[in-house]
């Protein structure tokens, strides 16, 4: 099984599990061994699924402003959790390929493996929800046809991204590519770097 296939099987599993309750406050029941790559992949998609629905909720035009602010804070935290997890997954690959001899003409990729995995997780959620729109019993045929076209594009993206991810990992394993993990250094979350926060001291 290619790594991309492992990813989207676990992402589909987590997406289906989330939608059993379809509740942003539901408890995640991760079936994989703690700190395994499978555990991190499942958790990654669960975080993405919750945030997907928080983003839906906050766009309700009649939402109470106090509730909207609370959800915005949750989304901010979720973004940080998501970024931290991506960096953790990249650290897994750094450790896995730490003994690979990098070839003299090796190049670095514009995107690390974990950020490609992040995109694949979001893509699985897009596919799931676009399929829901195709199947909506109250939608007209024109709406369903548009969504079917979009779904076909998403499926093609999934195929292309999967090939690209597997090729990147193959190249890293062979020493043709090398990777680095750059911390995101999100300044707005850091009380020492956000002027609005440190200005209040």
Residue bearing tokens 């694949």: 120
pLDDT tens digits, one per residue of 136-170: 999 999 999 999 999 999 999 999 999 999 999 99
Residue 150, burial from CB neighbour count under 10 angstroms (0-12, 13-18, 19+): middle
Q: Note the pLDDT of residue 181.
A: 79
Taking 60 as the threshold, does the pLDDT of residue 201 lie above it?
A: no
The answer to whether the CB of 176 falls within 8 A of the CB of 103 is yes
Residue 76, pLDDT > 90, answer yes
Pair of tokens at residue 70: 């609370």
pTM for this entry? 0.91
Confidence at 28, pLDDT banded by 50, 70, 90: very high
């Amino acid at each position: 099984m290619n790594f991309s296939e492992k990813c989207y099987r676990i992402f589909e599993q987590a997406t289906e599990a989330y939608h059993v309750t379809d509740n942003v406050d539901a408890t995640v029941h991760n079936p994989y061994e703690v700190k395994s790559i499978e555990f991190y992949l499942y958790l990654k998609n669960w975080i993405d699924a919750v945030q997907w629905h928080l983003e839906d909720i906050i766009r309700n035009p009649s939402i109470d402003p106090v509730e909207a602010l609370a959800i915005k804070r949750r989304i901010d935290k979720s973004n940080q959790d998501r970024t931290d997890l991506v960096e953790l997954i990249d650290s897994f690959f750094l450790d896995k390929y730490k003994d690979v001899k990098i070839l003299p003409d090796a190049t670095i990729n514009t995107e690390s493996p974990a950020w490609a995995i992040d995109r694949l997780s979001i893509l699985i959620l897009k596919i799931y929800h676009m399929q829901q729109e195709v199947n909506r019993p109250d939608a007209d045929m024109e709406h369903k046809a548009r969504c079917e076209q979009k779904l076909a594009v998403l499926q093609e993206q999934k195929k292309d991204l999967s090939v690209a991810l597997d090729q990147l990992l193959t190249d890293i394993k062979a020493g043709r590519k090398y990777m680095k993990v750059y911390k995101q250094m999100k300044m707005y979350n850091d009380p020492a770097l956000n002027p609005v926060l440190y200005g209040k001291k």
